[in-house]
A and B are shown apart, each in its own frame.
Chain A
Amino acid sequence: MCRAAIRMRLCLEWQDMNTPSRHQWRPRLVPAEEPEPDLAGLLAQVARGDHRAFELVYRQLAGPVYGVIRNVLRDPAQSEEVAQEVLLEVWRAASRFDPDRGSAAAWALTIAHRRAVDRVRAEDACGRRERKAAPGMTPECADAAAAVEASLDRERVRRCLDSLTGLQRESIKLAYCRGYSYPQVAQLLGVALGTVKTRIRDGLIRMRDCLEVDW
């Protein structure tokens, strides 16, 4: 019942965001909750061998890391195995994270996504995996309305996805959420290779600007 109410409030806040006071939305969204400790700072502590800091890092990253991997791999057991590897890699390689080169979340999720994709490609190469997706099918990764509690961040991502053209959106979803290579995406969508490459790039640029990503 309250889902609709929340959504309505999100819509209202979304409109607010287009006014000059848009920076005010974040605190209103996460009202009295304890603020999450800064990941980049925690990673610096982890790099010095701080296990407690790693616990906090785990709590922030486990959900997105597992989600990204699960979306690509589908198989829960395999996803769990790869997610464990990735999170342990975050512990092992924390000293290699450089905050000047991007956010801590992007760093970890880049490792996660690449690991998952590498696993899929290796299996594809061995012919062990039969993966078929109908063009136009909607991977839940990019519109998981059912699974997750309302969050303005997610709502915003969804809205930004909605602002893309159909082909841009489908290409990005198939590549990111399903781990397909761009030639596979081209085949699935029945379009030229060059078209997919440009659609993915244009779509991501539009997403980046829509989300006001700092980079």
Chain B
Amino acid sequence: MDILTWTYILVGLSFALYIGIAIWSRAGSTKEFYVAGGGVSPLANGMATAADWMSAASFISMAGLISFAGYDGSVYLMGWTGGYVLLALLLAPYLRKFGKFTVPDFVGDRYYSNKARVVAVICALFISFTYVAGQMRGVGIVFSRYLEVDINTGVIIGMCIVFFYAVLGGMKGITYTQVAQYCVLIFAFMVPAIFVSMQLTGNPFPQLGLGGTVEDGTYLLDKLDGVLTELGFTAYTSGQKPMIDMFAITLALMVGTAGLPHVIVRFFTVPRVKDARLSAGFALVFIAILYTTAPAVAAFGIYNAIDSVAEKPVDDLPKWVENWKQTELIKIDDKNGDGVVQYVADPEINELDIDKDIMVLANPEIAELPNWVVGLVAAGGMAAALSTAAGLLLVISTSVSRDLVKNFNPGISDKKELMIARGAAAVAVVVAGYFGVNPPGFVAQVVAFAFGLAAASFFPVIIMGIFSKRMNKEGAIAGMLTGLVFTLSYIVYFKFGTELFGVAPESLAAENWLFGISPEGIGSFGMLLNFIVSFAVSLFTPPPPAEVQEMVEEIRIPRGAGAAQDH
């Protein structure tokens, strides 16, 4: 069977599975819609969290990003896993004990202020919308490359699927589809990685293959370092980023991960505090399987690509190069007309341009794997994008129905609230789809926003809410606003300064960054500011009321968590 048939079969089967699960696990009450009834097992929640977290970017783009960044790519690996240590140790168990449905719920109650709640809702909506637009785009790209349909048709099909199970099933439907999606995506990521590792290094474990030897007996990484330096690039195992920026970006990604609302809410769905701790552990295991394999895929990919294309005759390239040239993900331009492809660091004479997404998408073809593996990768990419999109849509709909509507009209019935939640999810799907079809030119840039804002706003405010009894609403609001405004302005200035304010591009260059910290890493500085301002302000303003202090003591003790409450 050819690639296209296999892809249709595998993607079709996986979609049928998701829809089947959605019908089986419809939500009947707001509690089922918001937190899946609060009875999800830690193992299932761990898997669902992993799928929720690993987006189209993790699945499709991250390995390729590392291929070209080498050691500098470590910021993503450490940043997007280390955040789970913070989440497990500092946030998840206490938020579970608190026992409500959303992050703005916690902020509003702990800081006894609807103003704080509204600021939190705005942050949650902003973070989730920037993220979800990227996911819908990811679905469209996978559709167009593998199923040969138009990107926009792909986005619309993706919208319908997500609409179906997110709107119908709420958190309950999402949880069980995410478990299925995790299985699909991890299988799809690992199969080609294991094949390629066997071929290149003879080791079935890609994690070990990365440290293994290639055909001629030299270590893969040493060989890669040698080849890249010869072509004028930085050695694979050493980086270009200054240490302070590596530090800041890693920290911002870790803290941002721990502060992302769609990840945090997953820990409201387990029955006990103990389960929240354990399920963060399971989530990290499931994520680590992909995240320790990705650097191996990255190194194998760049090694294979250079090996099969560089210095080869232009009219006799492997078949996969021809296939992917049509999608413009590989561009070859024989500038000096010598009939041979030159791949070098100098852009003036370089003749080969490889898009980062190739490393995962074309991996099975590069390694000449059977056609069904290619179809599998398509289904995996789709699973990664759909599961994350669904989790984000839920945060959006909950923020509207619960944190805004219910909070300001406490009298509405459960049934009506559920209807509003479904309606909000439906509107959110359509808005996300719109951004998927008409992507704002800055989708890649806004990721820095999402993490930076989560790092500078949610993370400190939640941590202080748990670990400091003295922290009051004045401190928290001042801190949140300072962190937000500072981080937002820094990113906007350095990312869009030229377009928006007509700043000369030279004055936005790296040497003008504050302490050499890039916009991607500035969230860690924003977080620091948030902490400092909060503490300073809280010292000069009255302590929180006695019942709030009691609540803080209460959430620190595991016993008596019970199920998440309805009111």
Q: Do A and B come from one complex?
A: no
